[in-house]
Amino acid sequence: MGLINHRNCGHAPIGLFDSGVGGLTVLRQLEQQLPNESVLYLGDTARLPYGTKTPEQILQYVREILTWMTAEGAKLVIMACNTSSALALETVRSEFSIPILGLILPGAKAAVQAGQRIGVIATQATVASHAYPNAVREINPNVAIWQVACPEFVPLIEQNQLNTPYTIQVAQRYLAPLLEQQIDTLVYGCTHYPYLEPVLRQILAPEVQLVDPAKAVVTAAAQELDLLSLRHLQASAHRRIGVTGDPQSFARVARHCLGYTPVVEQICLPTRLLSQAK
């Protein structure tokens, strides 16, 4: 059985990846919007967090993951990581033959539809790339946008400290400059952050809209699958979840997002040499 045949028949999985549990918030959206699709998920937990890495490192990690996902027969990949989407999407799209979707453009479109005074919370790397302000201003130059890097959030979420007094204090500090600007919309510019919704809701005025780009990227993926006649129509979805770090601790945190403890495999990604040979 060749991988190409597998991919063409429509039973091949959609690849999703992130540095850790953040991408599961995208998986959750995918389960709602595309329940018949099989999923191949990779959490690159051995190299988490991505948000503090250089653009070169992030590009290298993404190449390795895409090399692996392509070899495993993924028919389409959603980068379930804003940092990777901001820094590597354009480059890898020209290097790999399968469709690859990122979160920034769908997220920017959803943000512009939601409000006029937009706050973005994201990793340091995503903020430094200016990907969200650039995308938002391209869609509507009249919209006001502010962004804040939140480096403490990902480690807190990966340690399952979702609603502790310390997490609330950190969130108050990060949101203060956005509250000062009286934002009407807040974008989760990192797929980990929807886990903090109860905390963020305590701090934000009730009328502030929360935008999760995950929802919009899955809608875009559904359209892409239809366009390419790759949609899987029968209900036979299969989930395969792998991590580069410790499977047990990932499964424990993943339980909060998925509502069940998933089976998690340890994955060994192709080496630097293999991915460069692609």
Q: Please give the positions annotated as active site.
A: 81, 190
Judged by CB under 6 A, the residue of 62, 81, 187, 204 near ligand DGL is 81
Of 28, 33, 16, 5, nearest to 76 (Cα)? 16
Euclidean distance between CA atoms 262 and 21, whole angstroms: 12
Which of residues 38 and 83 has its CB atom nearest to ligand DGL in the complex?
83
Strands 185-189 and 209-211: parallel
Judged by CB under 6 A, the residue of 38, 45, 70, 123 near ligand DGL is 123
Which residues 140-159 are close enough to bind ligand DGL by CB under 6 A?
Answer: 154
Q: In whole angstroms, how close is the CB of 123 to ligand DGL at the nearest point?
A: 4
Which of residues 12 and 104 has its CB atom nearest to ligand DGL in the complex?
104
Q: In whole angstroms, how close is the CB of 31 to ligand DGL at the nearest point?
A: 18
Which of residues 50 and 132 has its CB atom nearest to ligand DGL in the complex?
50
Which residue in this structure is represented by tokens 């950190």? Answer: 170
Q: In whole angstroms, how close is the CB of 79 to ligand DGL at the nearest point?
A: 9
Q: Any long-range contacts for 135-139 (C-beta under 8 Å, 24+ apart)?
A: 135/104, 135/105, 135/107, 135/108, 136/108, 136/111, 136/112, 138/108, 139/108, 139/109, 139/112
Q: Are 88 and 58 in contact (CB under 8 A)?
A: yes
Eight-state DSSP code of residue 190: S
Euclidean distance between CA atoms 201 and 220, whole angstroms: 27
Contact between 212 and ligand DGL per CB under 6 A: no
Contact between 28 and ligand DGL per CB under 6 A: no
Site residues for ligand DGL per CB under 6 A: 18-19, 22, 48-51, 81-83, 123, 126, 154, 190-192
